[in-house]
Amino acid sequence: MQVSERFLKFQWVVLILIFLVVFAGSFVRMSGSGMGCPDWPKCFGKWVPPTELTELPANYREAYLLKRQKKVEKFCALLQKVGLDQTAEKIKNDPSVYVEEAFNARKTWIEYINRLAGFLAGNTMLFSFGWLLLFYRKRKWLLLTGFNLILMGIEAWFGSIVVATNLVPWTITIHLFFALVIIGLQLFFIHELTNKKRPDLPKQKSFRLLSWLILLITFYQMFLGTQVREAIDTLVKKGYTRAEWIEQLGLPFFIHRSFSWLVLILLVYLFWQNRQKWHYSRINVAFYLLAAELCTGVALAYADMPGLVQTAHLVFATILLSVLLLMRFDYAQEKKNA
């Protein structure tokens, strides 16, 4: 089934907005603004957050802490229902969960802009689903976009849990996982709409295996990198200096660094082979993205963890993962058309 050029372009807009959410979320993480709004979906009980402390009641910290405690209790009850009793108890008994931050206008608005980006992305996805329902009604596409819309809702709800639990580290990792799945499904939908044959697609089995390996390592690397970042946050709170980080981080950091070089070696080989034989454009894009990601990774490890570099590192990794997914979709399309 053919779709209009306008509908296809709109799907790219949806994808860009989802990437914007990832970018905004990373900036929130980097700037320490995750608790800039103590409630959700409103911010300090308002749809447009305050800019001055005088706009808040004197007991605002106690009032919002009480609301968060109730949400934490509900979340822990949910965890217990699915058999995660120890995790629930750990969250309930963690004193850091119940620390209420003082009002900071800059952090409040950074977090609020992040929420606006999520709201915009979610509503464009809803509009896209309605457009599809009215004009195309292909069952496979409706199921795909409908499921992704539900995931977006779950992602928004889980964002409230991240806030309620005061940024418990593993909740941030799950939040990232949902975002990556949503991006992957949107990419798959766009690929289905284009249905474009790739005559430059390498046919060698070795290439397919290596591209699979690079994709899996990159996916794992993103979560390992999140854990390394969480460990660094913990070390900073304990008073460790940057010079002491690497020694304290231990095995996860060395695995993360070693796998980065492994991916580089594999992609350099594929890039060189591609220049000689195939001229498959996605390989070139993936290589340059990895080079940019590694540069930001080196800056993070050996410089003073500059904030925007952290955001760039995650964004480059997310785009790289997207290009690698598109390579897999190319092969799936080729197999279907065979």
> pLDDT (tens digit, 9 = 90+) per residue, 67-118?
778 888 888 888 888 888 888 888 888 887 777 777 888 888 988 898 899 8
Quote the CA–CA distance of 259 and 257 in Å, as a whole number: 6
For residue 245, the model assigns a pLDDT of 65
Angle in degrees, 0-180, between the axes of helices 242-249 and 205-238, rounded to the nearest 10: 120
For residue 124, the model assigns a pLDDT of 96
Task: Walk me through the domains of the chain, giving residue ranges and CATH numbers.
Answer: 1-195 (no CATH), 198-338 (1.20.120)
Q: Is 60 exceeded by the pLDDT of residue 305?
A: no
For residue 327, the model assigns a pLDDT of 92
For residue 191, the model assigns a pLDDT of 92
76-85, 121-130, 329-338: range with highest mean pLDDT: 121-130
CA 136 centroid distance within chain: 30
Quote the CA–CA distance of 103 and 118 in Å, as a whole number: 22
| C-alpha dihedral sign at 9, 14, 17, 22 | negative
DSSP code for 158: H
For residue 182, the model assigns a pLDDT of 95
Residue pair 65/71 in contact (Cβ under 8 Å)? The answer is: no
Q: How far is CA 15 from CA 187, 189, 280, in A?
A: 7, 10, 23
Tell me how long the chain is: 338
For tokens 């009215």, what's the residue?
A: 134
pLDDT average, residue stretch 285-291? 91
Encoding tokens for residue 194? 């284009």
Residue (of 266, 268, 276, 273) closest to 212 by Cα position = 266
Q: Which amino acid is at 306?
A: P
pLDDT average, residue stretch 256-284? 88
For residue 40, the model assigns a pLDDT of 75
Q: At 129, is the pLDDT very low, low, confident or very high (cuts 50, 70, 90)?
A: very high
* % residues pLDDT > 90 (the chain): 28
For residue 325, the model assigns a pLDDT of 94
For residue 306, the model assigns a pLDDT of 59
Residue 90's H or E segment, with its range, is helix 85-92
Residue pair 58/222 in contact (Cβ under 8 Å)? The answer is: no
For residue 237, the model assigns a pLDDT of 65
For residue 246, the model assigns a pLDDT of 65
Q: At 213, is the pLDDT very low, low, confident or very high (cuts 50, 70, 90)?
A: very high
For residue 319, the model assigns a pLDDT of 93
Written as one string, the DSSP assignment of 67-117 is HHHHHHHHHHHHHHHTT-HHHHHHHHT-GGGGPPPPP-HHHHHHHHHHHHH
Q: Is 70 exceeded by the pLDDT of residue 285?
A: yes
Q: Round to the nearest angstrom and report the end-to-end CA distance of the chain.
A: 18
Residues 88-92: contacts with CB within 8 Å, 24+ apart? 91/165, 91/168
Q: At 244, is the pLDDT very low, low, confident or very high (cuts 50, 70, 90)?
A: low
Strand segments (E) across 22-65: none
For residue 184, the model assigns a pLDDT of 94
For residue 286, the model assigns a pLDDT of 92
For residue 241, the model assigns a pLDDT of 64
pLDDT average, residue stretch 127-147? 92
For residue 145, the model assigns a pLDDT of 94
